[in-house]
Chain A
Amino acid sequence: MPADVLVIGAGVVGAATAWYAARSGHSVTVVDRGPVAGGTTGAGEGNILVSDKPPGAELDLALLSSGLWRDLAVEVGGFEFDPKGGLVVAATPPGYEALVSLASSQSGAGVETVVVPAGELAEHEPHLTPSLAGGVLYPGDAQVQPMLAAARLLRAARARGATVRTGVEVTGFLRSGDRVVGVRTSAGDLPAGAVVNAAGTWGGDIASLAGVDVPVLPRRGFILVTEPLPRLVRHKVFAAEYVANVASDDADLQTSPVVEGTESGTILIGASRERVGYDRTLSVRVLRALAAQAVALFPVLADVKVIRTYRGFRPYCPDHLPVIGPDPRAPGLFHACGHEGAGIGLAAATGRLIAQLLGEEPPSLDLAPFRPERFGPVVAP
């Protein structure tokens, strides 16, 4: 029997979509050519952030999502949800001023913010370097272990009747006229009432299999992992420049310090952003930059050992917004991809919105800014 919904991608976005769709009573099949969370979901830090987004469509999506994650932690759970809050710091007085003014506009959009003058930073983060101009605390920022989150959401979806098929690659679409009525896969044809493209960084490839253009490109990032430590860092701590880097179009290497602890004791250090395609080679230059910035922020880390590093490819679109919604160029096809460096955080809202569309309910948010066809003309099939 054909599934109501076929989800391509067993990353966190596909998992959240499967969970919300299954919970609304749809029969769901998830396929992935790799394992569960084998794409970018297994390569991220797992932050659920409102702090790094200026007021606008993405912030609205993030606010919706952060509330939903809190519910998921109770409904599903088992993925190390930690509402620890984020602390953004600025090194210079002008940087601090800009940060405080961003915070005030964010707070107008519904984000909880607490301005922390230089003298009070140590109360929040005792190991932070004393030479900072000030910061802003965002109690709404949280963290999950992203692979566990995807695995637990899929397990919960399976408990509601969903099927998860890993090692199955989508190679084409089944069409009835214009309509998408299923997918061709390495394991045969899978007809479905609707198909959701949650293929992350590879979402553009899936779209082109359907003859439509959705420009998703990879943006490489490395993360350093330290030896297991006691709690040295309470919040996700990052420098104000991170906010600028996130929204940048510069292809060159950018790094800005992002430091945070995890439940397992390791500290994760990011963040680098480079457009180098899918080049997997280790870049010693990037690792050095990440280490230097982390030590500048937290001098106590200087003699702490790095034991691991990993890299991932963030799926980004030219306007740095994800693609969420039905594709008018291929009826029956929905997109849920291109979340760049925020796909863990935005997954809950994305899954919920897609489930609402599938159930023909009004979506909780205006989806116009995320329209798949916003980038340009249709590519001939």
Chain B
Amino acid sequence: MATSPYDVAVVGAGPAGLAAAAAALAGGARVALIDAGRQPGGQYWRHRPGDLGAVADLHHDLGAFRRLVAGAAGAVRHFGQHVWTVSGSAADGFTVHAVAGDAETEVPARRLVLAPGAYDRQVPFRGWDLPGVHTAGGAQALLKGHEVLVGRRVVVGGTGPFLLPVAAGLAARGARVAGVYEANRPAGWIRHAGAVLPVAAKLTEGAGYAAALARHRVPFHTRQAIVAAHGGDAVEAVTVARLDHDWRIVAGSERVVECDAVAVGWGFTPQLELPLALGCATRVDADGSLVVEVDERQTTSVPGVHVAGEACGVGGAALAVAEGSIAGVAAAGVTSAPASLRRRRRALRRFAAAMHAVHPVRAGWQSWLADDTLVCRCEEVSAGEVRTALDELGATDVRTAKLLSRAGMGWCQGRVCGYATACLTASCTGTAPDLRGVSERPIAAPISLGTLAGDPGHIGQQ
């Protein structure tokens, strides 16, 4: 059966992808919308099938979500589909290769909008692989997506504004949040007030969380971190400590806090597998993340490929929606997005930059590690083994460190430990972390040999 390609394939149905699909449809394009999840909304508007009613109190901007879903209704949905690679070019057409269970689907398209989002950035600490230790986003996903609490007495830590809604959500649903440990001193953003004021809504959101935490008597500590987790078969307690400016532990400040669950996050890592597979140029953003370089129209260095949302700079849902709308307009071939949209994007990006400026990740976390602290959870590679690859086996770059130590070579392919391995390498060589060396994953989702061997179904526009 001959199939003609879609005008636009949008990968990712979170805020950016939904906005892109809606904008492209409004511009007259035929659109395919592909997401690994079974619901639209991505990480931000995560919810169970059906309406968001039960978890509405945990969400923001539900009006915007409903508008976007309605706007994207004309797109052909491929949900529950994990994209394992994208191939092609603007000249020959692109193909999105996706897999769901044992079935593979190829979606042909003239142009792409990639909106794959991000996941929690992690740094290792002693005991972080104990059951009950979760990423902040994981705790949030269980709550928003499943109405499940990760524990009864939870400690939240890391850095970044995201810790607040996570703690507030847990407290609202009855968990005792034993403390939020923010490694930075973010009150400093007041100094960036000029950037922040134009997006006052963001500020009131933050103030709302602060009030919620106060109401639930959740202690909020700054310049403190969870530096170790303890327990037998699951976490039973954590050690928290005060940090100096470089994030070294202030001697004598360690304290043990009992808990049955932990939620940690250190900002976000954008998912770059797909843009990198197509050869999109990247840069390092203000938060230290590798992101895709885009122009005014959210176009990457590769013609016909647009990127929107966290993958071109972590900045939250509102920014993702603005970028998605602009990308969708561009991908549909409409000349240009309205100036108001572009102004909004500029303001939100300034806000994001201000937030990044006060939530850096400082190298001192490396001094919390013992030699036997796991860096790579999948292959169980310790900090000591990574350092042996660097100090003794002559690795001078992260790729070599990885291949010689096996850090990042397991199931997750370095998604979790890549940042840490790049930082450990950088500390050893005295260079900036090479995130590109840990971000390329030509197979972006596992696919069985039998499926790969078989003839995939081609799903195009009739």
Residues of A at the B interface (CB closer than 8 Å) are 34-38, 42, 147-148, 151-152, 154-155, 158, 164, 166-167, 224, 226-228, 264, 266, 269, 281-282, 284, 287-288, 291-292, 294-295, 301-310
Contacts and interface: CB of A to CB of B under 8 A. Distances in A.
A288 B454 CA distance: 8
Contact of A155 (B97, B394, B449, B453): B394
Contact of A295 (B95, B411, B441, B450): B450
B394 A306 contact: no
Contact of A228 (B396, B411, B452): B411
A227 B446 contact: yes
Nearest to B97: A284
Nearest to A167: B396
Contacts of B404: 147-148, 151
A310 B403 CA distance: 12
Contact of A292 (B399, B413, B442, B453): B453
Contact of A151 (B87, B97, B379, B395): B395
Q: Taking chain A's interface residues, is the majority helix, strand, or loop, or is none over half, making it mixed?
A: mixed
A304 to B, nearest CB: 6
A113 B447 CA distance: 37
Contacts of B97: 284
Nearest to B452: A291
A133 B392 CA distance: 48
Interface in B438-452: 441-443, 446-450, 452
A307 B406 contact: no
B184 interface: no
A91 B406 CA distance: 36
Given A42-B403, A306-B448, A308-B413, A36 B394 contact: yes
B449 A295 contact: yes
B397 A35 contact: yes
Contacts of A228: 410-411
Interface residues of B, number: 33
16 contacts: A36-B393, A36-B396, A36-B400, A148-B393, A155-B392, A224-B449, A226-B449, A264-B379, A282-B85, A284-B95, A294-B453, A302-B450, A303-B448, A305-B446, A305-B449, A309-B442
A147 B364 CA distance: 31
B393 A155 contact: yes
A302 to B, nearest CB: 3
Contact of A227 (B411, B441, B442): B411
A307 B443 contact: yes
A198 to B, nearest CB: 16
Contacts of B449: 224, 226, 269, 291, 294-295, 301-306
B428 to A, nearest CB: 13
A158 B393 CA distance: 11
Interface of B: 85, 87, 95, 97, 102, 277, 279, 379, 392-397, 399-400, 403-404, 406, 409-411, 413, 441-443, 446-450, 452-453
Task: For the complex of A and B, list the 8 residue pairs with the smallest distance between their C-beta atoms, beginning with the closest.
Answer: A302-B450, A292-B453, A305-B446, A291-B452, A291-B453, A151-B393, A35-B400, A291-B449
Given A226-B449, A227-B446, A306-B448, A147 B400 contact: yes
B411 A152 contact: no
A284 B87 contact: yes
B375 to A, nearest CB: 16
Nearest to B392: A155
B394 A166 contact: yes
Given A36-B395, A42-B400, A228-B411, A306 B447 contact: yes
B277 A287 contact: no
Given A35-B399, A155-B394, 8 more contacts: A155-B393, A291-B450, A295-B450, A302-B453, A306-B446, A307-B413, A308-B442, A309-B443
Contacts of A224: 449
Contacts of B442: 282, 308-310
A307 B446 contact: yes
Nearest to B414: A308
Nearest to B99: A305
B454 to A, nearest CB: 8
Contacts of A295: 449-450, 453
Contacts of A292: 453
B9 to A, nearest CB: 16
A35 B452 contact: no
B438 to A, nearest CB: 13
A116 B411 CA distance: 36
B395 A35 contact: yes
Given A35-B400, A36-B400, A166-B396, A306 B452 contact: yes
A282 B394 contact: no
B409 to A, nearest CB: 7
Nearest to A222: B442
Contact of A264 (B399, B406, B453): B406
Contacts of A35: 394-397, 399-400
Nearest to A166: B396
A302 B452 CA distance: 9
A302 B399 CA distance: 30
Contacts of A266: 409
Contacts of B448: 302-306
Nearest to A264: B406
A308 B446 CA distance: 8
A180 B95 CA distance: 52
A301 B448 CA distance: 8
Given A304-B448, A307-B443, A154 B394 contact: yes
A359 to B, nearest CB: 25
Contacts of A304: 448-449
